[in-house]
Structure 1
């Protein structure tokens, strides 16, 4: 059996286009026809909420096969205060490498780094069956509900610091940076035209 070498490291500018191509391939026709996630990531890198030192890539034998990105975000609590959290995504693994535990490896590594940086909780929209083993639970079960769908089972939350969410109740809205495809459609179309047709 051939030995392989896995490396998780911080993304650098020289990785950007390869990472965007990876994201485009991984998300193509998954949630909608085509893909927008690669443009979202492209724009998020210039967003003040983006966390560059948590922008990670996974390489196998020097080949880029996964990526993780996240932004700072807030939940509006019922008492009028704001709870800072980490919004995860996009996160992906190359299509031909999926279902081998690599996404979980990358996610868990990134969340450990986030905890070390002082983040108290992480949120995302995703499949509870995939994210549950990494400690994510539906936000509604811990008092943080998704503004667009308060009963959503797919809005998931994980405490990175024990007790961080204790007694907290509120609403979470996605950061504006995730909606650039809707607010900048021509820029998105021009960006997508730079990639090979699918």
Structure 2
């Protein structure tokens, strides 16, 4: 498996990965899987951070994708990024591709000087990567009901002054 930055030519494969990965979590008859649509909208809006849009490739085929987008904590734009979606083809889930994408994202975000990576996801899965409930860091979710699943991972540039309400890129609000 090889992790690399996504390129424009990967767009169709990335869409297919998220469509397959999230199909079972979306109601039958949904015209397009929201997670797959979200990635395209983040890209179209210019909010997808190219250095944090990563693919897992095996034998020349894109098997997974993770992306991060512009976000803000309180009025601080650029301190944190919104992570997700993270998708891996169903037949290759639990093969280590998702974990590799998370580790690569955290390393790249840290190297780029971001202070935190924030996400909405399963604490059982993401705690192994050092994510904690965002409220522990004083970061509050845009929707209060998300609190039990709203997590953050502090990076080297993190300071306690980075706290307050979190806001994803506008594409998340259009879901």
Q: Give the TM-score taking structure 1 as reference length.
A: 0.79
How many residue pairs get aligned? The number is 171
Partner of 2:53: 55
Contact 2:18–2:35 (CA under 8 A) maintained in structure 1: yes
Offset from partner CA, 1:124-170 (integer Å, 9 cap, x none)? 000001000101000111211113116712000001116x1425431
Question: Greater helix percent: which structure?
Answer: 2
Partner of 1:72: 70
Contact 2:2–2:56 (CA under 8 A) maintained in structure 1: yes
1:166 and 2:160 are equivalent in the alignment = yes
Moved more, 57-66 or 143-152: 143-152
Stretches of structure 2 lacking an aligned partner (at least 5 in a row) = none
Distance 1:151 1:61 in 2: 38
Distance 1:151 1:59 in 2: 32
For the pair shown, the structure with the greater C-alpha radius of gyration is 1
Q: Give the TM-score taking structure 2 as reference length.
A: 0.89
Q: Pick from 25, 29, 43: which aligns with 1:30?
A: 25
Change (3 A) 1:85 1:31: farther
Distance 1:153 1:32 in 2: 23
Offset from partner CA, 1:66-109 (integer Å, 9 cap, x none)? 00111111011xxxx42521101111111111123321111111
1:120 and 2:115 are equivalent in the alignment = yes
CA RMSD, 1 decimal: 1.8
Instruction: Determine helix, strand or coil for the equivalent of 2:148.
Output: coil
Contact 1:139–1:155 (CA under 8 A) maintained in structure 2: yes
Change (3 A) 1:165 1:128: farther
Contact 1:120–1:161 (CA under 8 A) maintained in structure 2: yes
Contact 1:40–1:179 (CA under 8 A) maintained in structure 2: no
Distance 1:178 1:67 in 2: 17
Stretches of structure 1 lacking an aligned partner (at least 5 in a row) = 1-5, 182-198
More RCO (CA 8 Å, sep 6+): 2
Partner of 1:193: none
